[in-house]
Every structure is written in structure tokens, then in C-alpha cells.
Amino acid sequence: MDSRPIGVFDSGLGGLTVINAMSKTMPGESFIYVGDTARVPYGGKNVDTIRTYGRQIVNFLQSQDVKAIIVACGTVSSNVMESLNEEFDLPIIDVVRPGIEHCIQICEENNKKKIGVIATETTVKSGFFQKMFKEKNPSIEIDVRACPLFVPLIEEGWVKNIVLSRIAEAYLRDWQEDPIDFLILGCTHYPLLSPILQSILKDTVLLDMAVAAVETTHQYLAENDILNESPTILKDFYVSGDLEKFNEMSQQVTGQAIQAKKVFWD
């Protein structure tokens, strides 16, 4: 048993979908969440900048004595995981690889071949999804596209705004005419748009990467005998931007009354 918390971080609110998944799969685990809301979105930034941000946040979480870290940001997961794993001596689990593995398994079990992926611009440019699918099952057809307006609009609280619905329709119109079997939500912000996306792609199954990442984390903790069995559960939230705005938005996402603390980067 290991009662130390799990670190979870994202560019903003999106990683709270990982927290929601954790509350179902690992309800006894403590966690420390970091939302880098002062610098969101990451999706249009270059890889060196994303690497710097990731290093700063992992350094902070390591200073909080976490036992493992879930990188709840698809952009960081797709672009700089190798360098983070090389630099830091603690388990760091990303959201993308488990999500891809899960999708491939479902495709093979159900004989499905057509996959769509929506993600940030930097993730799409990395070619990571295309590379992983080609390596693991080249028979699967994959169509990856960027949705750069989603994250900033979600961070502004526009999830139920008609403008966002119209933008989503424009992004996904091709898949209405030529349907896909599964849609991977390649950014942890995107599950917050599930009702909108499902209304557009009616027969497509949406795949939330957060679920697979949390299940992978749970398996790792169990195999290494470090699952938390302590009755004392720590839940700390840190943000680099507006505390009041995050507290308000995060309650809508998690259903919890959250009082975040401020974090500063050197």
C-alpha cells in the first residue's frame, strides 16, 4: 500500500474528465491536480514550449511527493512523453497510448475499420495517432483532424453555446456524409462536448481516452502493490490562472465544490 497521492495535470479544465474517471475506478486514491490555465491552450504551441511546460509541472508534482503522474493532456502525451520519462524517475502515464490500445482492441473484437480522431493542432501535426495505428494495426483506416477552437471555447464556458455547436458541425460534416465507426476524443477537454458530438455523429461510438488511462494506472498500481487503502483522501487542485473562474467551471465538470490554490512557475 502507498497512501501518497497521484499527480494529474492538464493545460486547463480538460484533465478533470480524468478526475471523474478516477472517482469511479479508484475512489480510494488521493490526487493532486494541476491545471495550467494561465497558458491554455497548449494545442497551438511549439513542441519545445510544450516540453518546457510539461517539465515545470512534473517538477512541481514531484515536489509534492506523488507516487505516479497521469498526463491528462493529449498534446503533451502526443509530443513530449519520451523526454519526460527519460528525465524523471517516477511512473508517468499518458492518456493517448492507453486510448489507442483500447480503440484497437474494440475494432478487432467488432471487425470495425474506420476511425476518426479529433485533437489539437500540435497533436495532429505530430502524426502520433497515425504512426501508432500504422504500427499496431495498419488495416484500420484513420482520419485525424484538428479542432483548434474547441479548447478555448470550453475554457470560456461556452459548452452549451450555439456557436460551439455550429463550429462542431463544421468540423465534423464530412463524417456525417461518410460515417466512421469510432471517434477518439484526442483531447481530454472534448468529452465535455460529448452531447454535441453525439448529436452530430449519431451512430458513431465516442471513445474517451481518460477511461483507458485511468484503468492503465489502476493496473500499474495494483501490480506494484501501491494502491491506496488509507481512509484519508487528499484532493488538492492547483491552477496557474484565475482561481475564481476555475472553481466555478470545475464544479460544473466534477459536481464538486472546489477551492483551488495558486501555482507559480519559475
Catalytic residue among 73, 103, 107, 147: 73
Instruction: Tell me whether residue 147 is one of the annotated catalytic residues.
Output: no
What is the maximum span of the chain, computed from C-alpha positions, in angstroms?
52
Q: Which of 103, 107, 147, 187 is catalytic?
A: 187
Q: Which helix (H) or strand (E) holds 126?
A: helix 121-126
Of 147, 232, 141, 152, the residue nearest 182 (C-alpha) = 141
**Number of other residues whose CB lies within 10 A of the CB of residue 252:** 13
| CB neighbour burial string for 229-251, b if at least 16 within 10 angstroms, e if fewer | eeeeeeebbbbbbebebbeebbe
Please indicate whether residue 187 is annotated as part of the active site. yes
Dig out the grid coordinates for 61 from the structure.
Answer: 508534482
Catalytic sites, residue numbers = 73, 187
